């Protein structure tokens, strides 16, 4: 079984790395957060001293980082993966970044005969913990086949979407649908509440019909329980929406709904809610309507 490098032990990376350890893989891990590294080392991993060090000791290197600049720095920068990786090794970037950056990183790694796939994920912290993420992959079919069993330790849906960059294009499409779903749910539940109808009854009535969705089932109960602890932060969805709008402009696709939700999330960030779950988008609508979405006492 191949030795795996894992760089980036945040909300998502930490449980993902733990699932690889549970599956029996040997891991060398690295993160600027030393306490996160120590936690994973206690579960059986080896600590690396830098991205370069991790890459020099492993055959497959996974990165799970906040955004495009972090991926470029860790993979291509000083003491980066590119300086330590062996020829023929493979880098799997599971971060959600701009597709054009994925292609840039892939091309530069290829000059050193290092293979690359972009494989962003969807499902948030709960599914990262369960190992049931949806993983969208861009890369060569032969590389995908080689790494499929590894990726299946972290996700139950693992789909090759095309060449390098296709994974992040797919993730951007995913994030549009999630953001607009949450906004629509928030608008609907605020309307119901303000009109005097129990939002929980509305949710139960519509969830089995055409308006039902995974997003509705995941977020509506949390909203009504006033639980906004981050599974996926507003700030991170703003990052994704930035990448969405930038990519849309680059390829010539107007994205009016994405732009609208971006402005709602920016307003929440200004109000100090950027660290809350993206389900807290309901707070934007509640402020406009001067109402709270809560279950009514019966």
Q: Give per-residue pLDDT as tens, 197-255.
A: 999 999 999 999 999 999 999 999 999 999 999 878 999 999 999 999 999 999 999 99
What are residue 25's DSSP bridge partners?
none
Per-residue pLDDT band for 268 (boundaries 50, 70, 90) equals very high
Residues of the chain with CATH 1.10.1040.10: 170-289
Task: Indicate if the pLDDT at residue 178 is higher than 70.
Answer: yes
* pTM recorded for the entire structure: 0.89
Task: Indicate if the pLDDT at residue 131 is higher than 90.
Answer: yes
Task: Indicate if the pLDDT at residue 183 is higher than 90.
Answer: yes
- CATH code, residues 170-289: 1.10.1040.10
% the chain with pLDDT above 90: 95
Catalytic residue among 14, 18, 127, 171: 171
Q: What is the mean pLDDT of the chain?
A: 96
Q: What is the fold, at CATH topology level, of the domain defined by 3-162?
A: Rossmann fold (3.40.50)
- 284 vs 43, 45, 190, 217, CA distance in Å? 41, 42, 10, 20
Task: Indicate if the pLDDT at residue 298 is higher than 70.
Answer: no
Task: Indicate if the pLDDT at residue 4 is higher than 80.
Answer: yes
Per-residue pLDDT band for 157 (boundaries 50, 70, 90) equals very high
Per-residue pLDDT band for 8 (boundaries 50, 70, 90) equals very high
Task: Indicate if the pLDDT at residue 1 is higher than 90.
Answer: no
Per-residue pLDDT band for 108 (boundaries 50, 70, 90) equals very high
Q: Give per-residue pLDDT as tens, 82-107.
A: 999 999 999 999 999 999 999 999 99
Catalytic residue list contains 298: no
Residues of the chain with CATH 3.40.50.720: 3-162
In the chain, where does DSSP find H-type helix? 13-22, 34-42, 51-56, 68-76, 81-84, 99-110, 124-130, 141-151, 166-194, 199-206, 214-224, 234-251, 256-270, 282-289
């Amino acid at each position: 079984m191949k030795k795996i490098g894992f760089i980036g032990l945040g909300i998502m990376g930490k449980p993902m790395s733990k699932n690889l350890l549970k599956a029996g893989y040997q891991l060398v891990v690295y993160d600027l957060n030393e306490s996160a590294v120590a936690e994973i080392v206690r579960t059986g991993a080896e600590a690396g001293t830098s991205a370069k060090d991790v890459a020099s000791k492993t055959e497959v290197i996974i990165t799970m980082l906040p955004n495009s600049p972090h991926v470029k720095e860790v993979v291509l920068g000083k003491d980066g993966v590119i300086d330590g990786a062996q020829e023929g090794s493979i880098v799997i970037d599971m971060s959600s970044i701009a597709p054009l950056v994925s292609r840039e990183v892939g091309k530069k790694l290829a000059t050193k005969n290092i293979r690359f796939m972009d494989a962003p994920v969807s499902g948030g912290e709960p599914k990262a913990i369960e190992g049931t993420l949806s993983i969208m992959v861009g890369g060569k079919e032969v590389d995908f086949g080689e790494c499929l069993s590894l990726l299946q330790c972290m996700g139950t849906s693992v789909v090759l979407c095309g060449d390098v960059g296709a994974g992040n294009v797919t993730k951007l499409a995913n994030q549009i649908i999630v953001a607009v779903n949450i906004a629509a749910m928030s608008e609907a539940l605020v309307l119901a509440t303000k009109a005097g109808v129990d939002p929980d009854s509305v949710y139960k009535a519509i969830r089995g019909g055409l308006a039902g969705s995974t997003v509705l089932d995941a977020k509506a109960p949390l909203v009504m329980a006033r639980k906004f602890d981050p599974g996926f932060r507003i700030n991170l969805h703003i990052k994704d929406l930035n990448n969405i709008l930038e990519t849309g402009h680059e390829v010539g696709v107007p994205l009016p709904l994405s732009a609208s939700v971006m402005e709602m999330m920016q307003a929440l960030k200004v109000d100090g809610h950027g660290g809350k779950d993206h389900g807290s988008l309901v707070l934007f609508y509640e402020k406009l309507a001067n109402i709270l979405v809560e279950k009514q006492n019966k």
